[in-house]
Amino acid sequence: MEFTKLTSSNLHNNANITRIMREVLLALIPGIAIYFYFFGWSILINISIAVLTALAAESIMLILRKRPVMPFLSDYSAVLTAVLLALALPSLAPWWLISIATLFAIIVAKHLYGGLGYNPFNPAMVGYVVVMISFPQHMTQWLLPNQDLSLMQTIALHFQNISLNGLPVDSITSATPIDSIKTGLSLDKTIADIRTSSIFGKIGGYGWEWIAGGFLLGGLWLVFRKLIGWQIPFSMLGSIAIIAGIFSLADPTHYASPLIHLFSGGTILAAFFIATDPVTASTTPAGRIIYAIGIGLFTYIIRTWGGFPDGIAFAVLLMNMAVPTIDYYTQPRVFGAADK
Amino acid sequence: MMTPRKLWSFHGGLHLPGHKHVSTQHASGAAFIPERLILPLQQHIGEPAEPVVNIGDHVLGGQLIARASGYVSVPLHAPTSGIISDISEQKAPHPSNLKTHCIIIKPDGKDDWTELEAITHYQQLDPSALRNRIRDAGIVGLGGAGFPSFIKLNPGTRTVIDQLIINAAECEPYISCDDQLMREQPRDIIQGIQIMQHALQARHCIIGIEDNKPEAYSALENTLSELSISDIEIVQIPTIYPTGGEKQLIKVLTGKESPSHGLPLDIGVVCHNVATAASIFAAIQFGKPLISRMVTLTGDGINNPGNHHVLIGTPVDEWIQHNGGYHPAVQQLIMGGPMMGFNLETDQVPIIKTSNCLLALNSPENSPPAVPCIRCGACMDVCPAKLLPQQLYWQAFARDFDKVQDYNLFDCIECGCCSYVCPSQIPLVQYYRFAKTEIWAMERDKRKSDQARLRHEFRLERIEKEKQERAERMRKKKAALNASKSAASKDDGKKQAIEAALARVREKKKQNDSDIKNTNNLTAEQQKKISEIDARRKKSTEKPVDD
């Protein structure tokens, strides 16, 4: 009698990439919901534009690369990249800015490097950095909270850059809390002065602290479900907290407190959802800690002394570069090997 | 009451569904005599055995049919009486599906046996004599690897082995042959262990058994108390795959890690499978060679799952038909367990000494095709060797065979935990096996070319040496001659004698010369002709060249 010969293993726990990506997307929902609560429709429009662009780019690239389209398109990896990018970009970013960033992320950063699993740099962060460097003025269009814009008004803002009420975009947008600290300090204000602005809340940016809380919830769920390790998020947040703590203790008038650093901007989102991208992160237990501490330190350095509104994207890409070396030198001691 | 033994744990591992009860519902079936027995000459690690019978010979059960060749080798015996019908290449159960040399016996059904030589008091036997006996019985490790057992009963340079560990973990799902054997033949096993202890002069012995086999555990424990044996300890260990891996079991029981590039012997531990102990007992107590073993027949593709004693060489198809056959929906046949076993393309292969299980499955889980690795590290979290399977895969995939060794490829025990959890469904272990085989092939080639180069260099060296020796001899001879010359000049008598001798030689030579010339003794007429010719020659050569 003849039998089928399988090449895969005979037993499997049924884990698959699609399920992992889907669960990571679900874990983003609390944060996105709170974002929607404070800032309205804009985030959903951001996400829609990014996801549609990503799916189109992914399909075209898969066809050009002669890869099966449906299996890869349905693995949610492009969707996840798009959603993370949409969350990182300003809430009132023009549609073309979102599209350019997404196209660059999917086509250049992902597929030209070999597609899923082969990209050395985090695609979402590559897309973000490209538009950040190319269109800096558009990257400051962060919607002010509680504007109560209707869906149509928001769509118009995204696509025509004018308000239906005749309001100029500038009157409803502002810099991010992190960016405004930098600007304020350059005008010789103290941190305490800057924090009196309405864009700040109790511990971080107004509204942003709650959004960060939502992402924290989702992120902890992923750690609990063992879909991500604790090493990257906690090392990154820990290193930012420590270095920010040291500087703000030494000179509280010129250095923002650790809480502002953790609960403003995309720190929590990055720690749980972006730095943990397994493809581009270090893969050894010790390496992941080093990698995440590096991201934390670079983020703080670029935020505090650099020339850009936020430093996370650059920090992630810088540490992506170091990953092969980190991985090589942080191999765990194998079973039975002599103690080092 | 003894305090419970402290247990250690190893990194990673998996909690797997056991599926063991499927095959342990009935008492084991007795061995049956099939139509023909196919006995591969290589059923063990090492050199294949050499046939000592010819086609047409009649053999008795237990008779030697192939002898061991070399140290790492064991002999082969006829499982029953019959005629040697063929010695030829046959398909053997091996992942490669290649053919191998086999002796084929057509049983006569009488099951006549050769006279067996039992040892009544093995304690009085020297351990080395005991080892020879175990070797002559053709016993190899029955846990799966098939390493000749007598070698692992040799303590080597150590005088004392601290611990003999008996592997009764049987950690792989579905397999239950050791479980059944322990339930049914605990006495044989315990006495076999005592023989091993004697051969090794082991100080202490621990039987490690997973806690999913309570019946087997109590059977062994009762036997220990019945025989009032105190130096064998039986320890229940948590059911985590792959606790049955030799290194993992030693770690769990002793806390010691056998060295990465060494043997358990290096840390004073020797590990044997529990079924091996039973066959050693039979070999010593009754002189019975290894001609049958317990095999699990299981899976939803089998009508009557269970454990059976099976004669070595029994064709799988005949055995399964004899025991109720396949379920009509059967699709897949695996030799070994679902984690480390391999798929058989056909069931027309024999049961060999290392076959512990045949697993037939109806619907192979329709696993989606492999997708790229996303470096999630799930494999790393479960790897019991603490390797980085994701990095090994990456290097093996890229065929970077140097880097893959930097990541300790050869510490991989191929347990399959990584493949089990891989969300990209990558058959990781197959990549590691591929890389290992490639590296072995490369090393073999390198050894060959190194040997050739070495031989060439030796040859050049030898020629040079011979040349120098010749020159040296010449120089010495010359020096000796010169010395004797100067000595002779002092002695006139000698010199004169030599000169006289030389003169005689010259005289004789002259005479000889004149003797052999054809112009001697010419007539006048001939002489005249010669003169004329000479003159003509002279003239012609002097003639000026003017034209």
Q: pLDDT for B85-140, tens place per residue?
A: 999 999 988 877 788 999 999 999 999 999 998 888 888 888 888 999 999 999 99
CB A272, CB A215: distance < 8 Å: yes
Nearest CA to CA, how far is A262 from chain B (Å)?
Answer: 26
From A72, A283, A336, residue closest to B377, measured CB to CB: A283
Element (H, E) at B161: strand B161-168
A6 interaction partners in chain B (CB closer than 8 Å): 332, 343, 364, 367
Flag if A71 and B391 touch (Cβ within 8 Å).
no
Pairing type for strands B202-210 and B232-237 reads: parallel
pTM value surpassing 0.95: no
B368 interaction partners in chain A (CB closer than 8 Å): 16, 71
Q: How far is CA B60 from CA B38, B67, B84, B117, in A?
A: 16, 16, 10, 15
Torsion of CA B295, B300, B303, B306, to 10 degrees: 30
- Count of other CB atoms within 10 angstroms of residue B153: 27
Q: Does A339 touch chain B (CB under 8 A)?
A: no
Flag if A283 and B375 touch (Cβ within 8 Å).
yes
Band of pLDDT at residue A8, cut at 50, 70 and 90: low
Q: Write down the pLDDT at residue B94.
A: 83
Band of pLDDT at residue B516, cut at 50, 70 and 90: low
Picking from B375, B380, B407 by the largest number of A CB atoms within 10 A of its own CB, the best residue to mutate is B375
User: Is the pLDDT at B535 greater than 90, yes or no?
Assistant: no
Give the amino acid at A12.
H
Q: Lowest-pLDDT range, A134-143, A280-289, B316-325?
A: A134-143
Query: How far apart are the C-alpha atoms of B64 and B52, rounded to whole Å?
Result: 8
Pairing type for strands B161-168 and B202-210 reads: parallel
Query: How far apart are the C-alpha atoms of B272 and B282, rounded to whole Å?
Result: 16
Flag if B427 and A5 touch (Cβ within 8 Å).
no
Query: How far apart are the C-alpha atoms of A143 and A42, rounded to whole Å?
Result: 8
DSSP state of B334: E
A285 interaction partners in chain B (CB closer than 8 Å): 380
HEC-encoded secondary structure of B497-534? HHHHHHHHHHHHHHHHHHHHCCCCCCCHHHHHHHHHHH
Q: Which of B422, B403, B381, B13 is nearest to B391 (CA)?
A: B403
CB B371, CB B410: distance < 8 Å: no
Nearest CA to CA, how far is B335 from chain A (Å)?
Answer: 12
Flag if B425 and A1 touch (Cβ within 8 Å).
no
Nearest CA to CA, how far is A186 from chain B (Å)?
Answer: 42
CB B134, CB B126: distance < 8 Å: no
Nearest CA to CA, how far is B386 from chain A (Å)?
Answer: 5
A78 interaction partners in chain B (CB closer than 8 Å): none
From B259, B330, B372, residue closest to A336, measured CB to CB: B259
A335 interaction partners in chain B (CB closer than 8 Å): 10-11, 247, 251, 257, 260, 384-386, 411
- Token reading at B164: 């003999």
Q: Write down the pLDDT at residue B525.
A: 80
- Token reading at B444: 């073999």
Nearest CA to CA, how far is A2 from chain B (Å)?
Answer: 5
Flag if A8 and B370 touch (Cβ within 8 Å).
yes
CATH code of the domain made up of B122-290 = 3.40.50.11540
Q: Lowest-pLDDT range, B200-209, B280-289, B440-449, B483-492?
A: B483-492
Nearest CA to CA, how far is B210 from chain A (Å)?
Answer: 20
From A12, A118, A337, residue closest to B420, measured CB to CB: A12
Query: How far apart are the C-alpha atoms of B423 and B412, rounded to whole Å?
Result: 20
Each residue's pLDDT tens digit, A55-76: 999 999 999 999 988 888 889 9
Query: Please, where in chain B does CATH 3.40.50.11540 lie?
Result: 122-290
From A1, A328, A334, residue closest to B347, measured CB to CB: A1
A9 interaction partners in chain B (CB closer than 8 Å): 338-339, 416, 419-420, 427, 429
Each residue's pLDDT tens digit, A9-58: 678 888 889 999 999 999 999 999 999 999 989 999 999 999 999 999 99
B346 interaction partners in chain A (CB closer than 8 Å): 1-3
Q: In terms of CA atoms, which chain B residue is nearest residue A276?
A: B376
User: Is the pLDDT at A7 greater than 70, yes or no?
Assistant: no
A338 interaction partners in chain B (CB closer than 8 Å): 259-260
Pairing type for strands B357-361 and B292-298 reads: parallel
Flag if A3 and B259 touch (Cβ within 8 Å).
no
Choice between B121 and A165, residue whose per-residue pLDDT is larger? B121
Give the amino acid at B521.
N
Query: Please, where in chain B does CATH 1.10.1060 lie?
Result: 370-480
A284 interaction partners in chain B (CB closer than 8 Å): 380, 388
Nearest CA to CA, how far is A266 from chain B (Å)?
Answer: 23
CATH code of the domain made up of B370-480 = 1.10.1060
From B368, B378, B386, residue closest to A334, measured CB to CB: B386
Each residue's pLDDT tens digit, A125-151: 999 999 999 998 888 888 888 777 888
Bond from prior residue into A71 cis (ω within 30 degrees of 0): no
Q: Does A47 touch chain B (CB under 8 A)?
A: no
Percent of chain B with pLDDT over 70: 94
From A116, A281, A331, residue closest to B388, measured CB to CB: A331
Q: In terms of CA atoms, which chain B residue is nearest residue A77?
A: B374
Q: In terms of CA atoms, which chain B residue is nearest residue A8?
A: B427
Q: Write down the pLDDT at residue A177.
A: 82
